[in-house]
Amino acid sequence: MLKIGNVAAPNNVVLAPMAGVCNPAFRLIAKEFGTGLVCAEMVSDKAIMHGNKRTMEMLYVDEREKPLSLQIFGGDIETLVEAAKVVDTQTNADIIDINMGCPVPKVTKCDAGARWLLAPDKIEQMVSSVVAAVSKPVTVKMRIGWDDEHIYAVQNAKAVENGGGSAVSVHGRTRVQMYSGTANWDMIKEVKNAVGIPVIGNGDVFTPEDARRMLDVTGCDGVMIGRGALGNPWMLYRTVRYLTEGVLSPEPLAEEKIRIAVLHMDRLIALKGELVAVKEMRKHLAWYLKGLTGAARVKDVIMEMESRDEIVHILNEFVEKLAAGEADEQTAEEAAVH
């Protein structure tokens, strides 16, 4: 179990916030696959304050997704506080998370995202201002530092704790690293040893065994999984099962992968309409198909399609062919044995 403030998650596997990915369609699938806590994609504080329709839609939380953490980003204390108040009083989210890890220039040039990592003194003030303004637990997701010369993970996590933050998630990379190199789990351990609030480790957990290793190496309280779950909610299920029961369940069959991919697409269509959802689904379908024999050709065909039914038809045909191919191989093997 993972306890963040007064919010209890049934286990310590956390779906990372991912822009363009963690909308209600995928989050609900992650939840149904057993994930303890799901995080929503980041939303700009200023956009929340302007309250336009698209932004307010991004704040929608289905009851079945709970407990859920909703992430906001911004560079000014005042606007972060105002946005947090909206999340606190007008959404179904359980936790308000503040982004201090986003490395993209569009975000950091507004002093938001990873830019905060250079100012431990400002962090405490910002967190305490947000905490004072809301009743939901406030957490922070950060990278370990800006670059190798500015690694303030411990000071920054302490600032979050002193400001009244209820937990901190640490991605073991600097801003400058973006996604290169490997995540520094030793730094996650240092943070864990330095603060009393729950620490959620993040970075390069791609298998259930990686998750176990991260917990053992760092002593952290939860494991956050991002890229490993793209097109692969089974990774979340298998990790929960491995951590709670010590059982390594099998990888899904192609048919199961396609069934969930179609469920994902249908939920996205219900949220955003077919035109938008089908386009958005293309990258997800590519992730779901990854590793399946002959997937490259199917991917090329699907990328051009705009209709849900056409895509489903191609996917079903692909699975049938795959099953027939596997059956042929099996027959050949059996013939060879006899």
Ligand X SMILES: Cc1cc2nc3c(=O)[nH]c(=O)nc-3n(C[C@H](O)[C@H](O)[C@H](O)COP(=O)(O)O)c2cc1C
Nearest approach, Cβ of residue 207 and ligand X (Å): 11
- Give the nearer residue to ligand X in terms of CB position, either 23 or 128: 23
Nearest approach, Cβ of residue 335 and ligand X (Å): 44
Nearest approach, Cβ of residue 180 and ligand X (Å): 12
| Alpha carbon distance 183, 191 (integer Å) | 14
Would you say 66 and 45 are in contact if contact means Cβ atoms under 8 Å apart? no
What's the DSSP call for residue 7? E
| Alpha carbon distance 150, 139 (integer Å) | 22
Q: Which of 22, 39, 102, 220 is catalytic?
A: 102
- Give the nearer residue to ligand X in terms of CB position, either 128 or 139: 139
- Give the nearer residue to ligand X in terms of CB position, either 32 or 41: 41
- Give the nearer residue to ligand X in terms of CB position, either 20 or 219: 20
For residue 324, give every residue at least 6 positions away whose Cβ sits within 8 Å of its Cβ, in sequence order, or none: none
Nearest approach, Cβ of residue 117 and ligand X (Å): 12
- Summarize as ranges the residues that interact with ligand X (CB under 6 A): 16-21, 41-42, 71, 99, 101-102, 141, 171, 202-205, 225-228
- Give the nearer residue to ligand X in terms of CB position, either 226 or 322: 226
Paired strand residues for 143:
171
What's the DSSP call for residue 12? S
How many angstroms separate the first and last alpha carbons of the chain?
52
Question: By 3-state DSSP, what share of the chain in percent is helix, strand and coil, each rounded to 5?
Answer: 55, 15, 30
For residue 214, give every residue at least 6 positions away whose Cβ sits within 8 Å of its Cβ, in sequence order, or none: 185, 188, 201, 205, 220, 223
Question: Pairing relation of β-strands 199-202 and 68-73?
Answer: unpaired
The residue whose Cβ lies closest to ligand X is: 226
The separation between CA 251 and the C-alpha centre of its own chain, rounded to angstroms, equals 20
Sign of CA dihedral 243, 24, 85, 7: negative
Nearest approach, Cβ of residue 137 and ligand X (Å): 17
Annotation marks residue 102 as catalytic: yes
Residues carrying an active site annotation: 102
